[in-house]
Chain A
Amino acid sequence: MAVFEPQQSPQRPPRQPGARPIQPMDDALRGIPEPMLEACRAASRLIGGPSLRLLGVTSALRGEGRSSVALAMAAVQRQDFGRRVALVEMDFENPTLARAHNLEPWPGLTELSRGEAAATQVMQRLRNGVQVVTVGVIATSVSRMATEVAQSNALAALANEVDVVIADLPPLLPGGVGFAAARPFDDLLLVVRAGVTPIARVREATADLHVTPHVLLNGTTSSLPRWLLSMLGR
């Protein structure tokens, strides 16, 4: 198992001495809607279930429910299979996990990839057992950061500490940040917002991916009345 020694970084914000911020609230996990958990349960089984090791959750565009799905996938892995899970935030442009779950913003993935912190130091445990890795302090451009993380062994280090690593990746479009961040993942879950994301954009996003992603359609709804659905046998 790789051991990472934390190093000082000039960009690092001041840290309260002795503070160990690993007691965040897990309301967000409890607040995951049951239909989403159920969908992620089914998806998790189809993707690999208890044998899943490294999963990147991405989307073509922003606002497709990627972070919620990543959180739900992590919760399912933990609750259903009893596995140790690391939920890694890799949306460098718009990190939300730390703020949304009242977590310490650093040390995080940035520090881990630079060798400034060990894997165990960057993981912040939620009450239900899911370990969250925030982005950390980004000292360079996000595209370079994505490349650095992909080229480093940060994800491997995390994978050594837990059973499964689930990453909340940046969207694939526009630009190359999403593709660079998705590069280390052999299993990708592409979240597509039903009725919102244009098919052409999804096609464009998946055309250059190094693997064929699994697709999770988010926000499906049927406007047909019940009687018609039953008539159509659906």
Chain B
Amino acid sequence: MLRYLETLFRHPLLLISPTLVLVALATGWVAMQPPTYDATVRLWVERQQLVANPNSNPYLTPAQEQGAVITELLGTRYFCLKVGTRSHLDEFLANPYAVRPSLFQRVLARVGLASATMAGLSGPALDDAEYAQVSKAIVLDTGPQIVTITFRGSDPVEAANVAQAIADQFVDESLAGQRTQVSAEADFYTGQVKQAQAQLAAADAAIDQYLNAHPDQRAATAIPDARLTQLKRTDDDARQRVSDLQSKLDKASVDNAALLRPDTSGIRVLDHAAPPAQNSIKKLLIEAGVVGLVLGLVIMVVGVLVLTLLDTTFRQPEEVEQLLDLRPVGTVPKLMS
């Protein structure tokens, strides 16, 4: 340990300068980028009550579960393009004057090596740009039931629009999924009820037919024979089945109707996205500085390790004893000439 510290203090400039350079480079790079704005929307999420999710993990909080779902959706072109259309990001990106060029681009434009404005996008390039931007949104579960979505854009209004669109699109996707499930359930039970009703009608007809053939069985004091008893049992079963299926169909119909209301998905927007008043340059500078610092420290630690391992000389008398098993009888301190 002492040897590593010695190495660090022996080459302070060599070991600390990479950290300083990295911090300067990282913050310089951020400072050269066009200004960006962070818009945030917060969602309140609960476990789905109407339609039970078979993939629900009881060990995760609702926020963790839904946060993972949003992140998964943000990785798809389908969702990102929907968000882009909903937030008018596509129109924004198609406008050549909408995106402010970076300092680097402005410098290049000043010397005639680049255009002073960004080129307007269209076609597949526009889709790619939309997907690239929307997919960079950051989703965090900031509480057991709160999911925070942050979108960073070059325009405050556009950033807020996209953040809000991500939340809205997610709610829609979530509702649409539940509605599809409930609708399929209702369709299934409708068919089942019809089938059961037909069976019930057939069972009723069979009893009528048997009684017509055996009028003595109609008397109130008549003892039903085995055949009639069997027919009645089949009829009761069919009736019970119709009743069960009808109650399930009713439940599915109620769920379906309930899901037509937007607040039944178990997801609510608590804080709507608002255009940020200030750009996020300070936050970005701090982030870049921290990243540069951490990277620099890693390089410094590696440098200390490498320099210490490369140093194959004795530094302290105890090392003579440890490495060579020789007896050190003294040390002469380094004399300054």
Chain A residues proximal to chain B, CB less than 8 Å: 33, 35-36, 39-40, 42-43, 46-47, 65, 69, 189-190, 192, 194-200, 202-203, 206, 212-225, 228, 232
B289-315 CB mask vs A (1 if < 8 Å, else 0) is 000000000000000000000011111
Contact B314 A219 (CB under 8 A): no
Q: Of all chain A residues, which has the CB nearest B327?
A: A214
Report the separation of the CA atoms of residues A43 and B330 in the bound assembly, to the nearest whole angstrom.
5
Q: Supply 28 A–B pairs (Cβ within 8 Å), ascending by A.
A: A35-B333, A36-B335, A43-B329, A43-B330, A69-B332, A189-B329, A190-B326, A194-B314, A194-B315, A195-B311, A196-B313, A199-B314, A199-B323, A199-B324, A202-B314, A206-B326, A213-B326, A214-B329, A215-B324, A216-B331, A217-B328, A217-B331, A219-B333, A220-B316, A220-B334, A221-B333, A223-B6, A223-B10
Report the separation of the CA atoms of residues A36 and B317 in the bound assembly, to the nearest whole angstrom.
15
Contact A198 B333 (CB under 8 A): no
Contact B327 A212 (CB under 8 A): yes
Contact B335 A192 (CB under 8 A): no
- Given the complex, which residues of B lie within 8 Å of A215, measured CB to CB? 317, 320, 324, 326-329
Tell me the smallest distance from the CB of B304 to a CB of chain A, in Å: 12
**Would you call the interface of chain B mostly helix, strand, loop, or mixed?**
mixed
Chain B residues proximal to chain A, CB less than 8 Å: 2, 5-6, 9-10, 311-317, 320, 323-324, 326-335
Report the separation of the CA atoms of residues A43 and B332 in the bound assembly, to the nearest whole angstrom.
10
Q: Of all chain B residues, which has the CB nearest A214?
A: B329
Q: Of all chain A residues, which has the CB nearest B320?
A: A215
* Nearest 5 CB-CB pairings of A with B: A43-B330, A221-B334, A223-B9, A43-B329, A223-B10
Complex partner residue of B332 from A199, A212, A216, A223, CB under 8 angstroms:
A216
Q: Of all chain A residues, which has the CB nearest B325?
A: A212
- Given the complex, which residues of A lie within 8 Å of B331, measured CB to CB? 39, 194, 216-218, 220
Q: Of all chain B residues, which has the CB nearest A202?
A: B324
Given A194-B313, A194-B315, decide whether A36 and B332 contact each other with a Cβ distance below 8 A: yes
